[in-house]
Amino acid sequence: MTTKVLITDYVWPSTDPEREVLEAAGIELIIAPDTSEKTLSELAKDVDAIMFCFAQVTGKVLESATNCNIAARYGIGVDNVDIARATELGIVVTNVPDYCMDEVTDHALGMILALNRRLVPHSNTVVKGCWNDVALDQPMHRTRGATLGIVGFGRIGRSLAAKASGFGMNILAYDPFIETGTDIDGTSSVSFEDLLERSDFVSLHVPLLPSTQNMIGAEELAQMKQGSIIVNCARGGLIDEEALASSLASGHTAGAGLDVVEPTPPDPDSALLKQENVIITPHTAFFSQASTLELEQRTAQEVVRVLNGEQPENLINPDVLGKARSGI
């Protein structure tokens, strides 16, 4: 019987890199024509593995996949798969947590610099033929000596700290898993409230969990410095976007860089789309040719490992061990 893997969705030009890995292991690829729950549930009935990017891999999809051994995420976050149901069914869930650290931190730092230097509105002013109309009365920090607050100090947070230090920024970090007062390679671990109050720039790098949903709301924005900038290259649900729009409109928040929004795509009537001190990109912080090649290959390699009865490199649901369909 042929071993099969369902690819629910992807956002790069082709599936050639993963196809090469999988076909070398004798695995056939099935690519879903759309990401509806009905379509995925039907296609999942006959596969041994699922590889997914942004599609929702619901409990119903997993229940339909009676032969499935692994649900492998193309990416870092796993908020679009029912992990609890996968574990109950004996399905291993994996991700690739470190494939795009440079890309995401470059993106976040680029947003901070562009917003602080007001590159987009100044360029737009010149394009409109108004060279002499650029106002120099907007907040603009000297980068050297400014304070960057990083919320979430894992792989990506630490990579951003290293790069921002090169610009002469002072770095603060908040992470619930790191004791306040700890010094990590020159970065001071502080409370969330302290970070908000002291930072000129705030960058979010945490997963979307019930505890982090809308972690930046009206109260938190008010705690931040007048004229501060916030950047989110993690998950859209971390910020109350109505509160952010109000803070931007009032001038309290000087700028926002968002690689993620909620919902996706954004509502055309969103107030955030109408403000010049906002940069929004369509969840592309992860992207470079090098990062996507690595992502495609490593996701496929996890599938091959599990289907060969081996433990994956990046296991999301360790409670599945000992009862996994793959025998691990």
* Whether residue 262 is found in the same domain as residue 203: yes
Q: Identify whether residues 165 and 70 lie together within a single domain.
A: no
- The sheet with strand 170-174 has its strands ordered as 183-184, 187-189, 170-174, 147-151, 201-204, 228-232, 253-258, 278-280
Mind listing the pLDDT tens digit for each residue in 81-109? 999 999 999 999 999 999 999 999 999 99
Residue 92 maps to a domain: yes
pTM of the model: 0.91
Tokens encoding 148: 């960057």
In a shared domain, residues 203 and 181: yes
22 shares its domain with 139: no
Q: Which domain holds residue 202?
A: 101-280
Q: Are residues 130 and 92 in the same domain?
A: no
**68, 134: one domain:** no
Q: Does 213 lie in the same domain as 299?
A: no
325 found inside a domain: no
> What pLDDT, on the 0 to 100 scale, is given for residue 133?
87
> Is 297 found in the same domain as 270?
no
Average pLDDT, the chain: 96
Whether residues 162 and 38 fall in one domain: no
In this predicted structure, what is the pLDDT of residue 64?
A: 98
What CATH number does residue 250 fall under? 3.40.50.720
- Give the number of other CB atoms < 10 A from CB of residue 193: 11
Whether 275 is covered by a domain: the verdict is: yes
All residue ranges of the chain with pLDDT < 70 are none
Identify whether residues 62 and 123 lie together within a single domain: no
Give the pLDDT confidence score for residue 134 in this predicted structure.
84
Question: Is residue 190, in this structure, part of any structural domain at all?
Answer: yes
pLDDT reported for residue 137 = 84
Whether residues 130 and 241 share a domain: the answer is yes
Alpha-carbon dihedral of residues 252, 253, 254, 258, nearest 10 degrees? -160
The number of folded domains in the chain is 2
